[in-house]
Amino acid sequence: MSDSRSVLAAALEFHGHRCWASVTGVRAGLAALRTLGVHRAGGSQLHAIIETGEEHGAMCFGDGVQYSTGCTFGKNNINKNPLGKLAVTVVDKASDLAVRVSYKPTLQKQIAASAFMQQRAAGVSPDKIPEADQLELVDLMWNAPEDDILSVGEVFSQPRNWLPEVMGFTPCQQCGELVAQAYVRLVGERRMCIPCSGYDR
């Protein structure tokens, strides 16, 4: 547990403030790894699909998932299925096995009544909320029994043809910037980046 507490501390540092939704994301990610019997991805061995959407509360869930699972937008081993839900499916590419973990709103009344959420409702940015108020909800979510806050689904099979990474880059012959191979466009004989080529995609 002390090990995962250090994951929590690092995740919150990465996230930029301390909030219940990012903690929930960390716990959801750790629960998925444990259920699949896998470790945090250092490469692209896992893939996560998060269900948070755009411009709504608690999107911070996604940062907790990214940090705890190692499925990150930089590695492109995460994508969004934007349903406006606090849920994630993690797939182990080696076995094609997957599990979906979703947030159970048992503590929602307590969260809504907290000093943290009242300040959020009044428009205070989360990083400007006093640390003690931030930590109140962090501790609430971190210390809650897993079964109270998460629903961990059955492991299921999710076979998929994963696309290989294409490694090469080519300099655009117009602006000189490097462009990943699949994004190079041909204009006459010249190889260009999309903006220089004039193509939409």
Binders of Zn ion among residues 122 to 181 (CB under 5 A) are: 172, 174-175
- If the CB atoms of residues 102 and 174 are measured against Zn ion, the closer one turns out to be 174
Interface stretch with Zn ion, choices 16-24, 36-44, 72-80, 128-136 (CB under 5 A): 16-24
CB of 162 to Zn ion, least distance (A): 30
Among 8, 11, 12, 19, binds Zn ion (CB under 5 A): 19
CB of 16 to Zn ion, least distance (A): 7
Of 82, 51, 83, give the one whose Cα is nearest residue 65.
51
- If the CB atoms of residues 69 and 158 are measured against Zn ion, the closer one turns out to be 69
Among 22, 24, 69, 114, binds Zn ion (CB under 5 A): 22
CB of 112 to Zn ion, least distance (A): 16
**According to the binding rule CB under 5 A, does residue 193 interact with Zn ion?**
yes
Task: Assess contact for 170 and 178: CB atoms under 8 A.
Answer: yes
- If the CB atoms of residues 22 and 66 are measured against Zn ion, the closer one turns out to be 22
Q: What mask of x and - would describe binding to Zn ion in positions 31 to 70, judged by CB under 5 A?
A: -----------------------------x----------
- Residues near Zn ion, by CB under 5 A: 19, 22, 60, 172, 174-175, 193, 196
